[in-house]
Amino acid sequence: MTDHLRHALADAVAAETPDTAPPFALVLDRHGRRQRRTRGLVAVGTVAAAAAVIAVVATRGGPGEDRTAPPVATDATVNPSGTALTPHPATGDIPPVLVLGGAEGPVDAQQGSFCWGNGCGDHAIPSPAALPDVGFPSPLPAAFPLPGQWSITLSEAPDGTRCASYPVLVEPDSETHLQLTPSGPAVDRFAGYFVYAGSGDTSGYWRWTVTRDGVPLSWMTITQNTPSSGGMADLELVLDDAAVDGAVSAGVTVKSANGAVETFALSEVDQHCADDGFVELAVPSDTPERRIDGLGPAPYAYTVDLTIDGETYTGTGTWSGEGTQHGGDARLTFEPALPTLE
């Protein structure tokens, strides 16, 4: 998407969006960083999907504020309802929706805009009260029939306090089953997903009650295009529920299975609220673009050198490189442990 089109769309939506809605430009920027794809129709579909999430957030009457939930666990758990999740089949020109392991059983996400097979579609957005609600499970089990490159974002309910949206850690259990772990402060959320998989891309959304357990959570996200579409790559570091509101800087070294190594400097992305224990760092936009898998075969080992207020922390993690050529998330472990948000 060109900058001119991006700004034109942002201005058009902003004109119709209440002042309390999250800035459309921020959602577009996050989506642009995570997807970085060049297909024209897909770019339009991406904008429609992002606008769909904003339309939901801007509508009054979201999840009830009196609901309570147990603390979120940052380690994977089984479906709390005890019911196995079965993905919908991927057949024809209508994409399957994401199946979610809700507190009371499987829940289908609301279908959003898509370009799938030989067709594209834009979907009207229902009121927030009509969106499917999974309750409080976290991590949240999910099922989809194909592996893909996922972008899942959480936006706050319309309570007048929103200042950011937050990503979700996506960890595949298999090619068809995922574990979703939220980031950001505890609040009822509108969740929106975008996935590039199989014969196209699709989107959707649901309601999710998110709480936190106070344990720092961190992961690396790699997003890369196909070689025929420019060979672009992007790396992002997410730190959540940690005392990271001071000076933060980082670098990441990526090592392939054959020993090839490349190092990237990361800079802070200003898309978080003050004192929320969340920070996101990414490869600067002026960094020359290259594919991570050009280093050699998977898996890819990450070593993150993180500095917070002058203190150094070393994080490690591994991305399998399997399932999709477009990238994925890798949970990190830090030594010493990241400082806890108080």
Q: Are residues 240 and 93 in the same domain?
A: no
Provide the residue range defining the domain that includes 247: 217-335
Per-residue pLDDT tens for 162-181?
A: 667 899 999 999 999 999 99
Question: How many whole angstroms separate alpha carbon 195 and alpha carbon 98?
Answer: 10
Tell me the pTM: 0.77
Q: Are residues 105 and 165 in the same domain?
A: yes
Instruction: Name 143's bridge partners.
Output: 99, 177
Q: Look at residue 158 and tell me if it is in a domain.
A: yes
What are φ and ψ of residue 9, in 5° steps? -65, -40
Q: Are residues 130 and 21 in the same domain?
A: yes
Q: Are residues 37 and 166 in the same domain?
A: yes
Q: Look at residue 341 and tell me if it is in a domain.
A: no
Instruction: Name 78's bridge partners.
Output: none
Q: What is the pLDDT of residue 211?
A: 81
- Radius of gyration, CA atoms only, the chain: 19
Per-residue pLDDT tens for 173-214?
A: 999 999 999 998 888 889 999 998 987 999 999 999 988 788
Q: Are residues 139 and 275 in the same domain?
A: no
Low-confidence ranges of the chain (pLDDT < 70): 1-83, 126, 157-163, 225-232, 270-271, 291, 293, 323-325
Q: Look at residue 103 and tell me if it is in a domain.
A: yes
Q: What is the pLDDT of residue 286?
A: 81
Per-residue pLDDT tens for 200-250?
A: 999 999 999 988 788 999 999 988 765 555 556 788 999 999 998 788 999
Q: Are residues 188 and 228 in the same domain?
A: no
Question: Whose CA is closest to 130, among 180, 56, 193, 189?
Answer: 56
Residue 36 backbone zone (phi > 0: left; psi -120 to 50: alpha; other: beta): left
Q: Look at residue 342 and tell me if it is in a domain.
A: no
Q: Are residues 180 and 80 in the same domain?
A: yes
Q: What is the pLDDT of residue 39?
A: 30
DSSP state of 61: -
The total number of residues written for the chain in this structure: 342
Task: Give yes or no for a contact between 178 and 142, defined as CB atoms under 8 angstroms apart.
Answer: yes
Q: Are residues 241 and 150 in the same domain?
A: no
Q: What six digits make up the tokens of 203? A: 């989107």
Pick the last residue of a domain from 180, 213, 246.
Answer: 213
Question: How many whole angstroms separate alpha carbon 222 and alpha carbon 303?
Answer: 14
Q: Look at residue 95 and tell me if it is in a domain.
A: yes
**HSE toward the beta carbon, residue 335, CA cutoff 13 A:** 3
Number of domains in the chain: 2
Q: Are residues 155 and 126 in the same domain?
A: yes
Question: How many whole angstroms separate alpha carbon 76 and alpha carbon 334?
Answer: 18
Q: Are residues 14 and 119 in the same domain?
A: yes
Q: Are residues 158 and 144 in the same domain?
A: yes
Task: Give yes or no for a contact between 123 and 112, defined as CB atoms under 8 angstroms apart.
Answer: yes
Instruction: Name 149's bridge partners.
Output: 196
Pick the last residue of a domain from 153, 185, 213.
Answer: 213
Instruction: Respond yes or no on whether the N-terminal peptide bond of residue 95 is cis (omega within 30° of 0).
Output: no
Pick the last residue of a domain from 188, 213, 238.
Answer: 213
Question: How many whole angstroms separate alpha carbon 203 and alpha carbon 242?
Answer: 30
Q: Are residues 236 and 292 in the same domain?
A: yes
Looking up tokens 């058009």 gives 12
